[in-house]
Structure 1
Amino acid sequence: MQRRTFLRTASAGAGAVAFSGALWQGAATAGTSAAGAGPYGPLRAPDANGVALPEGFRSRIVARSSLPVGGILWHPAPDGGACYPDGDGWIYVSNSEVPLVGGASAIRFRSDGSVDRAYRVLEGTNLNCAGGATPWRTWLSCEETWRGRVFETDPYGRREAVAHKAMGRFKHEAAACDPDRRVVYLTEDEPDGCFYRYTPEVWGDLSRGRLDVLCESAGGGVEWREVPDPSAPLFGKQTRHQVGSARRFDGGEGCHYADGTCWFTTKGDNRVWAYDAERGELSVAYDADSPLDGVDNITGTPGGDLYVAEDGGNMEINVITPEGAVAPVIRLDGHGDSEITGPAFSPDGSRLYFSSQRGTLGDPAGLGGMTFEVSGPFRR
C-alpha cells in the first residue's frame, strides 16, 4: 500500500486511538495486502454484463432505472439497500437518491430467484441515500440533505412509512442497529460531519429517544454526549454544531454493526473506522490508497468479512477479511462516471445485490441506474 499501513494504530483528533475490535485483533500484524490476495482469487475478464468476477461467480441485471420491473418503473439513482426474508423468497429494498421524489422501492424474488413483483415503499422524500435494516425487519431510509430525516419503512409494503425526527435533522447517510446495546448508529455526509448514537426509549419503537454525538474525551479517547436539540430548528444551530467537543469525520458514508463493533466509512480520507462498542474505543481499520479507493457503502457477513463499495475509484466492491486481506470481488467495466451503491446479501448469503447509481450513461439524474445480482460461493 502506497500511503499508509493497513490496520495500524492511528492518531485521531486530540489523542491516540488504540486499535480495537476482537474480530480484527489477529489482523493488526498482517502487514500490507495486495489485490488478488483475497479468498476468491483474481478477477476474470468482464462478462456480458460488464462485471468482472472471480472464478465460480456469475452476474445478472435485475432492474434498470426508468424501465419496467415487477409491475413498476424502477427508480432513478438507486442507492442504499438491504435484503429481507419473505416466505420461500426474499426482498431487496433500494433507495432513490433524487430530489423531492426520492423514496424507496422493493423487489420480491421467488425461491428460484425470478422476480415476483416490485412496489414502492416510500414516496415524496428527498435524496434518499443510504440507510440500514432493523432487527424487526424494517428499512431505515435516510435523507442526505440539510435537515434530512430518517424514515422507517416497511419492505413488505403493508404499512405506511414514518419519519423519526428524534433521530436528528441533518445530512443523514447510513444507519446501523446495535441490538446488544439497543442503539442505532448514524453517519453524516459532511466534510466536518459527526458520528451519532440514537437510544430509543423502547427498543423496537424509534419514535422517542435520545440522540448522542461521539466526542473527544479529556483523556484523549472518545465519549458520547447528548445533542441538545436534534430537531435543528431553521434558525438555530445545525445538529453537528451543537456540541463543541464533537469528533469530526470527513464525509461519513456506510455503516455496519457486527459482534460488538460498528464499522463505518469516510470518503474524504478514504478510511474504514471501527468503533468498539464494548470498550468505547475508536480505531482506523483501513487507511490506504489501494486496492480500495473511494470507500462508500459497507455490509458484512456472519463470518466477519466486510464488503466495501467504491464511489468512483475503479468501480469495485472489495472484501476485507478478518485475516487482513483486502481484495476486489467485483469490478464494473464502463461505469466510470457512476458509483456502486446498496450492497446487501440475500438471507441465505448466496447472492449479493448492489447498484451502479448512474450506470454506463453516467447521467447526473441517475436515469441509467442499474441494479445487479451476483451469485456464487461467497464465504458466510
Structure 2
Amino acid sequence: MPLNRRMFLRATAVAGGTAAFSGALWHQAFASGPAQPGPSPYGPLRAADGNGLALPEGFTSRVVARSLRRVEGTRYTWHPAPDGGACFSDGDGWIYVSNSEVPLVGGVSAIRFDVSGRITSAYRTLNGTTLNCAGGSTPWNTWLSCEEHDLGLVWETDPRGQNSAVARPAMGRFKHEAAASDPERKVVYLTEDQSDGCFYRFRPQTWGDLSSGTLEVLVGSGTGPVQWARVPNPEVWLTPTREQVAEAMHFRGGEGCYYTHGVCYFTTKGDNRVWAYDAAAERLDIAYDDDLVAEGEAPLQGVDNVTATSGGDLFVAEDGDNMEINLITTDGIVTPFLRLNGHGDSEITGPAFSPDGSRLYFSSQRGKSGFIAGTDGYTFEVTGPFRR
C-alpha cells in the first residue's frame, strides 16, 4: 500500500477515536474505529518453552499429535497438513476434530480426550475428499468440513465417527473456506477463498437438516447496512456463484469465520481485515484492519482462522508473519497471545477451545520443515487461565 494512503487511513482512525467497548455489545462501536494495539490482559509473553511456544505467565503447552506419526496412546496415524478444527463435548471429556488440507485424501481426523485431558483414542471421520480447509461446528454437534477448490463441497461429519459423512451440495459448490452457525436466525455463514470471493449464508429448509435450503450472498456497498440476495444456481453452474448476483459484495480472500454474541466475524487475507457482521441489525463493520492501526506497528498480520471464548474475546491465527495467535479483546485491544518459534514457513490453523474453555487447540500446518505437503504438521494444546 502507498505510504500516503496508509497515513491518511491512520489519521482518519485517530480523528474518529476508539470507542469504549463493553462486553458482548462491543461490536456496536466498530463504526467509530477498529481494534487498536494495547497491553494484553494476560501480560507479556515469556521466553519460548520446550515446544517453541512463547506464552503468558500461567500457561503451558504440549504437542498432542504430529503428522504421519501415531497419536500417543493410540494406533492411529495423524493426517498431514492439519487445518481447521473444533471441539465437541463427549461425556465427561471432549473431542478435537481437524481437517487435512491435501488433495484427494484430505478428510477429517479426531482425537478424544477424557475428563483429565488424557488422550483415549484417535480416528478418521471423513475420507477421500480434497483440500479440506476450515469449517465450523453446528448446534446439533456435527462438524462442517469445507473443501477449498472451485467445485468444493461442504461435508457434514460426525465428530464421534459413528455416522457416515454426508455431502451438502445445497450449500453451494465453490472454493469454501469456513462456516459458522447462527442458531438465532437459523442460518449458516460461509466464506470463500477467492481474491474476489463473497460472503454467503445458507438458510436450511428445516433447521438441523442441511440437505436442502437457499444459498444467499451478501449485497451492499461497503460498511454499514447490507442485505442478502439469493444465488440462482448454487449447485450446478457455468457462472461461478460469486458472479451470479451483480450487486454482491466481493472480499479479498475470505478465511476464518466464527459466530458469537450476535455477530459473525470473518477474516480476509488480501487486506488483512477482521470483519464484523451484526446479524440482528444486518450491518457490516470492520473489527480490525492493519492499515487503521493509529500508532506503531500492526501486531496482527496474515489473518486466518478465528475462534472466540465464551466471553467474546476473539483469537485470530496468523498465516505466516511471526506465527502468532492474536487476541482481540471485548474492549477493543489487539495484542499477541502466543508466538510459535521455529516454524517460520508454516501457518497456524484450527484454533478451538475445549468445552470448558480451559484449553486451546491449534496446529502448525507445515511444522518446522515448512514442506508444502504438510508432512511435518504439529497439533498443540495450550492450558491456562483463559478469560471466560
Partner of 2:317: 309
Partner of 1:323: 331
Partner of 1:148: 152
Is 1:350 the counterpart of 2:354? The answer is no
Partner of 2:93: 89
Partner of 1:245: 247
Q: CA 1:64 to 1:6, structure 2 compared with 1: closer, same or farther past 3 Å?
A: farther
Q: CA 1:228 to 1:291, structure 2 compared with 1: closer, same or farther past 3 Å?
A: same
Is 1:227 the counterpart of 2:231? The answer is yes
- Residues of 2 paired with 1:219 and 1:61: CA distance? 41
Q: CA 1:268 to 1:31, structure 2 compared with 1: closer, same or farther past 3 Å?
A: closer
Q: 2:26 aligns with which of 23, 33, 45?
A: 23
Q: 1:334 aligns with which of 342, 349, 353?
A: 342
Q: Is the 8 A contact 2:84 2:350 kept in 1?
A: yes
1:189 maps to amino acid? D
Shift of 1:270: 0.1
- Residues of 1 paired with 2:11 and 2:130: CA distance? 37
Q: 1:46 aligns with which of 10, 32, 48?
A: 48
- Residues of 2 paired with 1:6 and 1:284: CA distance? 16
2:379 maps to amino acid? T
- Residues of 1 paired with 2:347 and 2:223: CA distance? 39
Shift of 1:33: 3.5
Q: CA 1:305 to 1:218, structure 2 compared with 1: closer, same or farther past 3 Å?
A: closer
Q: CA 1:220 to 1:262, structure 2 compared with 1: closer, same or farther past 3 Å?
A: closer
2:26 maps to amino acid? L
Shift of 1:223: 1.0
TM-score by structure 1 length? 0.92
Is 1:160 the counterpart of 2:164? The answer is yes
Q: Is the 8 A contact 1:148 1:169 kept in 2?
A: yes
- Residues of 1 paired with 2:181 and 2:223: CA distance? 28
1:315 maps to amino acid? M
Q: 1:67 aligns with which of 63, 69, 72?
A: 69
Shift of 1:6: 11
Is 1:193 the counterpart of 2:197? The answer is yes
Partner of 2:268: 266
Matched positions, count: 366
Partner of 1:359: 367
Tell me the secondary structure at the aligned position of residue 166 of structure 1. helix
RMSD between superposed Cα atoms in Å: 2.2
Shift of 1:8: 5.5
Greater helix share, structure number? 2
Is 1:115 the counterpart of 2:123? The answer is no
Q: Is the 8 A contact 1:7 1:284 kept in 2?
A: no
Partner of 2:106: 102
1:281-320 counterparts in 2 under 5 A?
281-288=283-290, 290-320=298-328
The percentage of aligned residue pairs carrying the same residue is 65
> Which structure 1 residue ranges, 5 or more long, are not aligned?
10-18
- Residues of 2 paired with 1:219 and 1:65: CA distance? 41
1:288 maps to amino acid? D
2:340 maps to amino acid? L
Tell me the secondary structure at the aligned position of residue 37 of structure 2. coil
Tell me the secondary structure at the aligned position of residue 27 of structure 2. helix
TM-score by structure 2 length? 0.90
Partner of 1:34: 37
Q: Is the 8 A contact 2:30 2:286 kept in 1?
A: no
Q: Is the 8 A contact 1:5 1:32 kept in 2?
A: no
Shift of 1:88: 1.2
- CA offsets 1:46-90 (integer angstroms, 9 cap, x no match): 100000000110100000000001221100000000000111111
2:302 maps to amino acid? G
1:94 maps to amino acid? S
Q: Is the 8 A contact 1:7 1:285 kept in 2?
A: no
- Residues of 2 paired with 1:327 and 1:218: CA distance? 26
Tell me the secondary structure at the aligned position of residue 73 of structure 1. coil
Q: CA 1:185 to 1:207, structure 2 compared with 1: closer, same or farther past 3 Å?
A: same
Q: Is the 8 A contact 1:120 1:157 kept in 2?
A: yes
Q: Is the 8 A contact 2:34 2:286 kept in 1?
A: no
2:264 maps to amino acid? C
- Residues of 1 paired with 2:179 and 2:10: CA distance? 28
Partner of 1:205: 209
